[in-house]
Amino acid sequence: MAEYDLIIRNGEVFDGNGGPSIQADVALKNGVISKVAPSIEGDATRTIDARGKIVTPGFVDVHTHYDGQATWDNHLNPSSNLGTTTIVMGNCGVGFAPCKPEDHEVLVQLMEGVEEIPGSAMDEGLPWNWESFPEFLDALEERPRDIDIAALLPHGPLRVYVMGERAVNREAATADDIEQMKVLIKEGIEAGAVGFSTSRTLVHRSSSGSFIPTYQAATEELKSLGESLSGEKGSVFQMISDWEDADDEFSIIREIAERSGAKGTFTLLDLAPTPDLWHEQLKRIERAQESGLDIRGQVISRPVGILMGHPASMHSFYARPTYKALADLPWDEKIEKLRDPEVKAQILREESEQPHVFVEIFEKRFRNMYPLEDPIEYLPNRENSVVAMAEAEGREPSEWLYDYFLGDNGNNLVYIPAANFSENIPEMLTHPHTVSALGDGGAHVGSICDTSANVYVLTKWVKDKKQIELAQAINMLCKQPSELYSLNDRGQIAEGLKADVNVIDFDNLKLRTPHIVHDLPAGGKRFLQNADGIELTIKAGEVIYEKGKATGALPGKLVRGSQQDPRVS
């Protein structure tokens, strides 16, 4: 019998701690890293020659929305196929538990609107074999999958479960409501929730266009609910906000951390309308850390990018009456109809009817739209916008865009860097109290494909721009997010820890342009993305992806709560 299950030989090993790499062999046995040494004697069931490659821990992504997909899919791509081996879902206060049977549709509409997952896919895919949050965790644990998942308990479903229609109408919670919610949060934490999440942004709306149940929930409600978290259990409070009163909003996170000992984390973006906010937020974080409170900002490594066009779920014309009348035609017939000059003129004259909030905001912001390049450029030259293209041809931007969308048999797309289109990204990413995150895997499936933001740290900021050292980047993608959620058994290449490993051809690492597939339940469509150069992804000692192809191995588990470092007695 072989001494090891797998030995990775001759690789340049980055252990995830941020220090220099070493040339070493890495041996795996029974799902853990058994030995790391310059040369390992002994045989293995499989040996991999990683000469000329880098060997890293598996990536840890703490901001995803796989709450639905994890109940029907064994493969959590586009995360697992891009080197991620552990994800945290249930972010931004949305999810599917707890939920009474009569409220199923409420939560489907909530997730359809907030995270843009097709309602038809959820209607067909969700098994609803749970009601309470502990039952939801049990249901997740029953399904095999490729990578590990951990879950936050979301505020929206909790509020609807306790308050019913009053929550949907965004009424204030009573003292009794709050006490009931606190009991359920404690129950969820005991069952293995890694924390509690909420949303306080007007961008998050249900599919009906209504504000979500948590929007502008009373500050004191959240502070009180946060008391149910447990610092001893490594609980995390996660929040997204519009920061209209930044001091008051930040006080929610700070006081929850003070009262409960829990960690706090929130979405940190550089937004054009508030150019100083990101820097002010870092100062707030620093003051909290100086007070002994572990609060960290979540930063995306590039702009939050929206993809629009006929193959996507939305675009500037999709909610106009004449277009909607053609939307369900067979593809070639629809494109042919849209080429008709009279149809074009009619659509251009019309106004959108109840569009998604993304279109509501960006429908006519042509300076923010860029024809999609291949490979995709996430920080495009501002001189290449739709406005610039239209002006060069002496045309109106809306008419130019209409014709552009019809190119390539209707498959042309535009890319909209909607937020965080900023030169300050490297400073935000490398701050000692931020975490690289916000890829939103599993969400906005027909308009955003940002899950590769972790790989982008390597391709853009390490390889192309040389503004971040490779060892530091690996630390940002692996150990730092693991530490935030007290997942201390992973995120590093060290003896005794989880055998979650990537073997990467760094010189040839490159992101491919996102593409549409129709593989959701009920034939729903979504964007997926691939990368060149990720040679192997290993989860718990098993190869789950090899050269971008799934092997069929499903070693992933549900992670319940914080995880101890097995090296510490």
Residues 502 and 537 sit within 8 Å (Cβ to Cβ): yes
Tell me whether strands 501-504 and 54-57 are parallel, antiparallel or unpaired: antiparallel
Q: How many CB atoms lie within 10 A of CB 507?
A: 11
CATH code at position 515:
2.30.40.10
Within its chain, how far is the Cα of 498 from the centroid? 22
Among residues 415, 446, 467, the one where a domain terminates is 415
pLDDT tens-digit series, residues 252-298: 999 999 999 999 999 999 999 999 999 999 999 999 999 999 999 99
Angle at CA of residue 249, ends 248 and 251, nearest 5°: 65
What was the pLDDT predicted at 357? 86
User: Which residues have a Cβ under 8 Å from the Cβ of 327 and sit 6 or more positions away?
Assistant: 318, 334
Residue 487 phi, psi dihedral angles, 5° rounding: -95, 75
Number of domains in the chain: 3
What was the pLDDT predicted at 172? 87
* Statement to judge: residues 348 and 229 lie in one domain: no
3-state SS, residue 196:
strand
CA distance 55 to 494: 12
User: What is the DSSP code string of 530-557?
Assistant: -EESEEEEEETTEEEEETTEE-S---B-
Among residues 456, 484, 512, the one where a domain terminates is 484
Handedness of CA 486, 111, 76, 463 (dihedral sign): negative
- The reply to whether 492 falls in a domain is no
Residue 308 phi, psi dihedral angles, 5° rounding: -130, 150
What was the pLDDT predicted at 329? 97
Q: Between 168 and 416, where is the model more confident?
A: 416
By mean pLDDT, which of 9-18, 93-102, 113-122, 524-533 is the weakest? 113-122
Quick one: average pLDDT of 376-391?
A: 96
Q: Where are the alpha helices (DSSP H) in 273-377?
A: 277-290, 321-326, 331-339, 341-349, 357-362
Give the domain extent around 519. Answer: 4-56+497-550
Q: Is the peptide bond before 78 cis (omega within 30 degrees of 0)?
A: yes
**Residue that is written with structure tokens 């990683």 in the block:** 50
Nearest to 277, CA basis, from 424, 479, 452, 473: 424
User: Which residues have a Cβ under 8 Å from the Cβ of 67 and sit 6 or more positions away?
Assistant: 89, 90, 94, 95, 96, 111, 151, 154, 442
Instruction: Give the confidence band of 212 by pLDDT, cuts at 50, 70, 90.
Output: very low
* Statement to judge: residues 462 and 507 lie in one domain: no
* Statement to judge: residues 292 and 312 lie in one domain: no
- The reply to whether 489 falls in a domain is no
Quick check: 111 pLDDT over 50? Answer: yes
Tokens representing 272 are 């054009």
DSSP 463: I
User: Which residues have a Cβ under 8 Å from the Cβ of 183 and sit 6 or more positions away?
Assistant: 228
User: Which residues have a Cβ under 8 Å from the Cβ of 306 and sit 6 or more positions away?
Assistant: 358, 362, 415, 416, 418, 444, 447, 448
Quick one: average pLDDT of 78-98?
A: 97
Nearest to 267, CA basis, from 255, 277, 256, 257: 277
Instruction: Give the confidence band of 169 by pLDDT, cuts at 50, 70, 90.
Output: confident
DSSP 76: -
Half-sphere CA count of 302, side-chain side, radius 13 A: 27
CA distance 300 to 436: 6
Residue 284 phi, psi dihedral angles, 5° rounding: -65, -45
Quick check: 117 pLDDT over 80? Answer: yes
- The reply to whether 567 falls in a domain is no
* Statement to judge: residues 123 and 223 lie in one domain: yes
* Statement to judge: residues 114 and 249 lie in one domain: yes
- The reply to whether 410 falls in a domain is yes
* Statement to judge: residues 466 and 406 lie in one domain: no
Handedness of CA 447, 452, 457, 460 (dihedral sign): negative
- The reply to whether 491 falls in a domain is no
- The reply to whether 77 falls in a domain is yes
Quick one: average pLDDT of 19-26?
A: 98
* Statement to judge: residues 148 and 290 lie in one domain: yes
- The reply to whether 259 falls in a domain is yes
- The reply to whether 566 falls in a domain is no
Assign 3-state DSSP to the chain and report helix, strand, coil percentages, each to 5: 35, 20, 45
Tokens representing 462 are 């390490």
3-state SS, residue 184:
helix
